Amino acid sequence: MLFPELDDFLRTVLSHVKFSFDKKAIRSELESHLWDRIEEYLEQGYEKEAAVHLAVEGMGEPKEIGIELNKQHNPLIGWLWWLTNKAVVLLVAINLLFYGIPIMDSLTAYDPAKDILPTDIVYDLKVDEKVCLDDTVLEFTRVILKKNGELSIIYKYYDTRFWGRGWSLGGIGRISDNLENEYWSGSGSSNGEIVTKGIRTFTNFDKTAEILIISYDHFNRSYRVEIPLRAGDVIE
């Protein structure tokens, strides 16, 4: 059953509340109080229409109630609260994306070294070296030396910003070893996903080298990584 008197009361109160996002909660709370009073009057033997009238009348002047509630639910404070909550949600989303990158990476099946046969390998070393270039994180994960002298460096990189990549990674840097050899000729490929996995292969690598050196110095960005060789799971 509809009760116009109750609806008019609520409509008048809410017309004075300026922050629209609070109106639903205010209406729900007022309705709860009103129906509690209506139930009390019904228990006392009043008819429903009379109980509604007494409950509404007992609440007071709706305009004054609305003005007072508007002070408590100040529009400026309300909007600041709303924007702050949206900012928190956005920050959580950014953090989820940033920390979710390794999870997405683990779900990516692409293996840059899939074409290297185990029978061709001298050693296959697991590496855990990470560097940052601006907002790009570059990780070196494996170093594989083949019997024909080809050295492959497996790596991955991703942008930590959720809105996209700032600048593309043109190369992983200058390749050398502790014997002062430098390596230039070779090939490479990558998959170009959110987490890009790639491989760089260099020919005629000195098998007696004990340290692989990867150094980068371009556009005011630099790093140097030294990877011990012939350590870990070595396959002769």
- Domain count for the chain: 2
Helix (H, G, I), strand (E, B) or coil at 101: helix
User: Could you give the percent of the chain with pLDDT greater than 70?
Assistant: 74
pLDDT, tens digit, 9 for 90 and up, residues 17-72: 777 767 778 888 888 888 888 888 888 988 888 888 888 888 888 888 877 777 77
- Verify that 129 and 212 share a domain, yes or no: yes
Q: Are residues 134 and 56 in the same domain?
A: no
To the nearest 10 degrees (0 to 180), the angle between helices 23-43 and 48-59 is 130
- Does a structural domain hold residue 96? no
φ, ψ for residue 3, nearest 5 deg? -125, 95
Q: Which of 169, 154, 159, 137 is nearest to 227 (CA)?
A: 154
Q: pLDDT class for 100, splitting at 50, 70, 90? A: low
> Average of pLDDT values for 147-163?
85
The pLDDT tens digits of the residues spanning 180-198 come to: 999 986 777 776 667 888 8
**Whether residues 138 and 220 fall in one domain:** yes
In this structure, is residue 79 part of a structural domain?
A: no
Q: What is the mean pLDDT of residues 69-83?
A: 59
Write out the E strands in 76-164: 121-133, 136-146, 151-159
In terms of domains, do 148 and 224 share one?
yes
Mutual orientation of helices 23-43 and 4-15 as an angle, nearest 10°? 150
Q: What is the pLDDT of residue 233?
A: 45
Say if residue 69 is in the same domain as residue 115: no
Residue 219 has pLDDT above 50, yes or no: yes
> What is the domain range of residue 23?
4-73
Q: How far apart are CA 182 and CA 41, in angstroms?
A: 94
Report residue 232's pLDDT band, with 50, 70 and 90 as the boundaries. Answer: very low
Whether 215 and 120 map to the same domain: the answer is: yes
| pLDDT at 106 > cutoff 60 | no
What residues contact residue 52 under an 8 Å CB cut-off, 6+ apart? 3, 5, 6, 34, 38
